[in-house]
Chain A
Amino acid sequence: MLFNSIQFLVFFTAIVFLFFSLPHKTRWVLLLLGSYYFYMCWKVEYIFLILLSTVIDYIAGLVIGATKRISIKRIFLAFSLITNLGILFSFKYWNFFSDSVNQVAQSFNIFHSLPTYEILLPVGISFYTFQTLSYTIDVYRGKKEPEKHLGIFALYVAFFPQLVAGPIERSTHLMPQFHEEKSIDPRRFASGLRLMAWGFFKKLVIADRLAAYVDTVYGNAGDFYGLPFWIATFFFAFQIYCDFSGYSDIAIGAAKILGYDLMTNFRRPYFAIDISDFWKRWHISLSTWFRDYVYIPLGGNKVRKSRWYLNLAITFLVSGLWHGAAWTFVIWGALHGFYLIMSILTVRLRQKLADISRLSRYPNFHRVFRALITSTLAIYAWVFFRADGLDSALLVTRRLFDFSAGLSLQGMVQNSTDFIIAWAAILVLLGVDLVVELMEKYSGVRSFALSTRWLAYGMLIFSILLFGVFNGQDFIYFQF
Chain B
Amino acid sequence: MSGERLIRVLLILLGIPAIVLFLGAKSEYVMGHFTVVDSTHGDLSKKLKIRDFQVSVPPSVGSDSSYYLPGLADADILLIGDSFFRWHRGGPMFAEQLSGVTGHHAVNLWSPGGKGYPQRVISQLEGAGVRWSDTTRVLLVECIERNLVRNYSDSKYALESVSRPDLNSGVAENRGTAGLVDLLQTIRYRWFESAELNYQYLLQNSPATVGMTEFYNTMRYRVFDIMPGMITVYDNDPVMLFYEDTIDDSEHSYFYPHSDETVQAIAETLEKVQSEVLNRFNLRLIFLPVPNKISIAAERVTDVPYDMFVPRLCAELERRNVPTISLYELFRSSEVFPYHPTDTHWNQTGVEQALNQLNDLMISRGWVDGISSDL
Closest approach, in angstroms, between the C-beta of B320 and any C-beta of chain A?
Answer: 29
- The A390-423 residues at the B interface (CB cut-off 8 A) are 410-411, 414-415, 417-418, 421
Answer whether A14 and B18 are a contact pair too, CB < 8 Å, given A184-B7, A470-B229. yes
Closest approach, in angstroms, between the C-beta of A61 and any C-beta of chain B?
Answer: 30
B216 engages A465 (CB within 8 Å)? yes
* Contacting residue for A418 out of B8, B196, B225, CB 8 A: B225
Answer whether A18 and B15 are a contact pair too, CB < 8 Å, given A41-B195, A466-B224, A467-B226. yes
B228 lies within 8 A of chain A by Cβ: yes
A16 engages B15 (CB within 8 Å)? yes
A469 engages B8 (CB within 8 Å)? no
Please, which residues of chain B bring their CB within 8 A of the CB of A467? 224, 226
- The B194-220 residues at the A interface (CB cut-off 8 A) are 195-196, 199-200, 203, 216, 220
B3 engages A10 (CB within 8 Å)? no
Interface size in chain A (residues, C-beta < 8 A): 43
Question: B25: nearest residue on chain A (CB-CB)?
Answer: A10
* Contacting residue for A10 out of B12, B22, B224, B228, CB 8 A: B22
Please, which residues of chain B bring their CB within 8 A of the CB of A465? 216
Closest approach, in angstroms, between the C-beta of A392 and any C-beta of chain B?
Answer: 13
Please, which residues of chain B bring their CB within 8 A of the CB of A13? 14-15, 18
Answer whether A44 and B4 are a contact pair too, CB < 8 Å, given A14-B18, A208-B229. no
A11 engages B229 (CB within 8 Å)? no
Please, which residues of chain B bring their CB within 8 A of the CB of A5? 196, 199
Cα distance, A212 to B249, chains bound together (Å):
10
* Contacting residue for B18 out of A10, A208, A410, CB 8 A: A10
- The A292-349 residues at the B interface (CB cut-off 8 A) are none
A7 lies within 8 A of chain B by Cβ: yes
Cα distance, A220 to B14, chains bound together (Å):
45
B68 lies within 8 A of chain A by Cβ: no
A17 lies within 8 A of chain B by Cβ: yes
B19 engages A472 (CB within 8 Å)? no
B330 lies within 8 A of chain A by Cβ: no
Please, which residues of chain A bring their CB within 8 A of the CB of B229? 208, 469-473
Answer whether A17 and B7 are a contact pair too, CB < 8 Å, given A219-B249, A418-B226, A466-B224. no
Question: B2: nearest residue on chain A (CB-CB)?
Answer: A186
What size tier do the contact residues of chain B reach? 35 or more
Closest approach, in angstroms, between the C-beta of A257 and any C-beta of chain B?
Answer: 10
Please, which residues of chain B bring their CB within 8 A of the CB of A187? 3
A215 lies within 8 A of chain B by Cβ: yes
B225 engages A16 (CB within 8 Å)? no
- How would residues 7 to 25 of chain A score, 1 for a CB under 8 Å from any chain B CB and 0 otherwise? 1001101101110110000
Closest approach, in angstroms, between the C-beta of B373 and any C-beta of chain A?
Answer: 46
A6 lies within 8 A of chain B by Cβ: yes
Cα distance, A7 to B22, chains bound together (Å):
8
- The B224-253 residues at the A interface (CB cut-off 8 A) are 224-226, 228-230, 232, 249
Please, which residues of chain A bring their CB within 8 A of the CB of B216? 465
Closest approach, in angstroms, between the C-beta of B234 and any C-beta of chain A?
Answer: 11
A17 engages B249 (CB within 8 Å)? no
B175 lies within 8 A of chain A by Cβ: no
* Contacting residue for B19 out of A17, A219, A410, CB 8 A: A17
B73 lies within 8 A of chain A by Cβ: no
B11 engages A16 (CB within 8 Å)? yes
A72 lies within 8 A of chain B by Cβ: no
A17 engages B15 (CB within 8 Å)? yes
B3 engages A17 (CB within 8 Å)? no
Answer whether A184 and B192 are a contact pair too, CB < 8 Å, given A14-B19, A469-B229, A471-B230. no
B188 lies within 8 A of chain A by Cβ: yes
Please, which residues of chain B bring their CB within 8 A of the CB of A208? 229
Please, which residues of chain B bring their CB within 8 A of the CB of A219? 249
Cα distance, A478 to B72, chains bound together (Å):
47
A456 lies within 8 A of chain B by Cβ: no
- How would residues 17 to 51 of chain B score, 1 for a CB under 8 Å from any chain A CB and 0 otherwise? 01101100100000000000000000000000000
Please, which residues of chain A bring their CB within 8 A of the CB of B4? 183-186
A178 lies within 8 A of chain B by Cβ: no
Cα distance, A76 to B196, chains bound together (Å):
41
A7 engages B192 (CB within 8 Å)? no
Cα distance, A13 to B12, chains bound together (Å):
10
B180 lies within 8 A of chain A by Cβ: no
Question: B8: nearest residue on chain A (CB-CB)?
Answer: A184
A114 lies within 8 A of chain B by Cβ: no
- How would residues 171 to 194 of chain B score, 1 for a CB under 8 Å from any chain A CB and 0 otherwise? 000000000000000001000110
A459 lies within 8 A of chain B by Cβ: no
Please, which residues of chain B bring their CB within 8 A of the CB of A183? 4
- How would residues 177 to 214 of chain A score, 1 for a CB under 8 Å from any chain B CB and 0 otherwise? 00000011111010000000000000000001000100
A66 lies within 8 A of chain B by Cβ: no
Please, which residues of chain B bring their CB within 8 A of the CB of A44? 188, 192
Answer whether A417 and B15 are a contact pair too, CB < 8 Å, given A6-B199, A10-B21. no
A40 lies within 8 A of chain B by Cβ: yes
Please, which residues of chain A bring their CB within 8 A of the CB of B15? 13-14, 16-18, 21
Cα distance, A18 to B22, chains bound together (Å):
13
Closest approach, in angstroms, between the C-beta of A415 and any C-beta of chain B?
Answer: 6
Please, which residues of chain A bring their CB within 8 A of the CB of B22? 10-11, 14
B196 engages A40 (CB within 8 Å)? no
- The A15-67 residues at the B interface (CB cut-off 8 A) are 16-18, 20-21, 40-41, 44
Closest approach, in angstroms, between the C-beta of A449 and any C-beta of chain B?
Answer: 19
Answer whether A189 and B21 are a contact pair too, CB < 8 Å, given A10-B199, A44-B192, A472-B196. no
Cα distance, A208 to B232, chains bound together (Å):
13
Please, which residues of chain B bring their CB within 8 A of the CB of A40? 192
Cα distance, A410 to B7, chains bound together (Å):
51
B224 engages A421 (CB within 8 Å)? yes
B375 lies within 8 A of chain A by Cβ: no
Answer whether A471 and B196 are a contact pair too, CB < 8 Å, given A10-B18, A17-B14, A18-B15. no
Closest approach, in angstroms, between the C-beta of A339 and any C-beta of chain B?
Answer: 31
Cα distance, A155 to B1, chains bound together (Å):
34
Cα distance, A189 to B10, chains bound together (Å):
12
- How would residues 105 to 133 of chain B score, 1 for a CB under 8 Å from any chain A CB and 0 otherwise? 00000000000000000000000000000
Question: B12: nearest residue on chain A (CB-CB)?
Answer: A17
Question: B229: nearest residue on chain A (CB-CB)?
Answer: A471
Known: A184-B7, A421-B224. 5 other contacts (CB 8 A): A14-B15, A18-B15, A41-B192, A189-B7, A418-B224
6 pairs across A/B with beta carbons < 8 Å?
A10-B18, A16-B11, A21-B15, A41-B193, A184-B4, A410-B303
What 7 A-B pairs have minimum CB-CB distances, sorted nearest first? Answer: A17-B15, A471-B229, A186-B3, A13-B18, A6-B199, A14-B18, A7-B196
